[in-house]
């Protein structure tokens, strides 16, 4: 191979390498842009409210209910788990539950329904926070008391929107 052939081969290789790097950069930027939240339409985090309640809130509620009422004594480990579960409910109530308002307005919720739900969402956030604090202190009396408040908050909302789930 001649010197000119080696140079031409080297230059062709460099052009191919630069083209490959450029294509990779373009692909990487395209994938990163598609993955950013701003590129996605604003939607509730978990499909619909019923799905969120069944897969997230009810799971945590059921765990706490069983532990508090049927899995005595409330050991330090159980209290820590109750604190974590109530913290997850608090986070869901504070952040996720407010994203469903537009969908439920489209389904016929009145302004009063939306206000009632939002008040219960805020109440649930506060009670879950108090329950979390009581569990972190390992105060079984307060844990039981705040869990009853949490249950009453859930039931008051169910009695208005989900009579099939209401105990009252």
- Three-state secondary structure string covering the chain: CCHHHHHHHHHHHHHHHHHHHHHHHHHHHHHHHHHCHHHCCCCCCCCCHHHHHHHHHHHHHHHHHHHHHHCCCCCHHHHHHHHHHHHHHHHHHHHHHHHHHHHHHHCCCCHHHHHHHHHHHHHHHHHHHHHHHHHHCCCHHHHHHHHHHHHHHHHHHHHHHCHHHCCC
> What's the CA gap between 57 and 52, in Å, rounded?
7
Residue 58: the pLDDT is 94
- Name the nearest CA neighbour of 89 among 120, 138, 56, 50: 56
Residue 123: the pLDDT is 98
- Name the nearest CA neighbour of 97 among 128, 113, 127, 118: 118
Residue 12: the pLDDT is 57
Counting Cα atoms < 13 Å in the Cβ hemisphere of 121 gives: 19
Tokens of 157: 């909302």
Counting Cα atoms < 13 Å in the Cβ hemisphere of 159 gives: 9
- Name the nearest CA neighbour of 104 among 90, 122, 93, 117: 117
pTM higher than the cut 0.85? no
> What's the CA gap between 40 and 93, in Å, rounded?
23
Counting Cα atoms < 13 Å in the Cβ hemisphere of 31 gives: 6
Query: Could you read off the pLDDT tens digit of each residue along the chain, which spans 168 residues?
Result: 677 666 656 655 555 555 544 444 533 443 333 333 333 334 455 578 889 999 999 999 999 999 999 999 999 999 999 999 999 999 999 999 988 888 888 889 999 999 999 999 999 999 999 999 999 999 999 999 999 999 999 999 999 988 887 665
């Amino acid at each position: 191979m001649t010197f000119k052939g080696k140079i031409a081969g080297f230059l062709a290789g460099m052009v191919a390498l630069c083209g490959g790097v450029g294509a990779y950069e373009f692909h990487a930027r395209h994938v990163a842009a598609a993955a950013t939240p701003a590129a996605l339409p604003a939607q509730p985090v978990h499909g619909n409210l019923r799905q969120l309640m069944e897969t997230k809130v009810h799971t945590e509620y059921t765990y706490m209910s069983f532990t508090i009422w049927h899995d005595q004594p409330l050991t330090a480990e159980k209290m820590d788990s109750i604190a974590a579960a109530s913290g997850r409910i608090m986070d869901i109530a504070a952040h996720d539950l407010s994203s469903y308002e537009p969908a439920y307005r489209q389904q016929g919720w009145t302004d009063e329904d939306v206000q009632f739900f939002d008040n219960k969402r805020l109440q649930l956030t506060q009670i879950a926070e108090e329950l979390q604090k009581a569990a972190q202190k390992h105060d079984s009396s307060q844990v039981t008391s705040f869990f009853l408040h949490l249950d009453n908050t859930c039931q008051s909302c169910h009695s208005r929107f989900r009579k099939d789930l209401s105990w009252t």
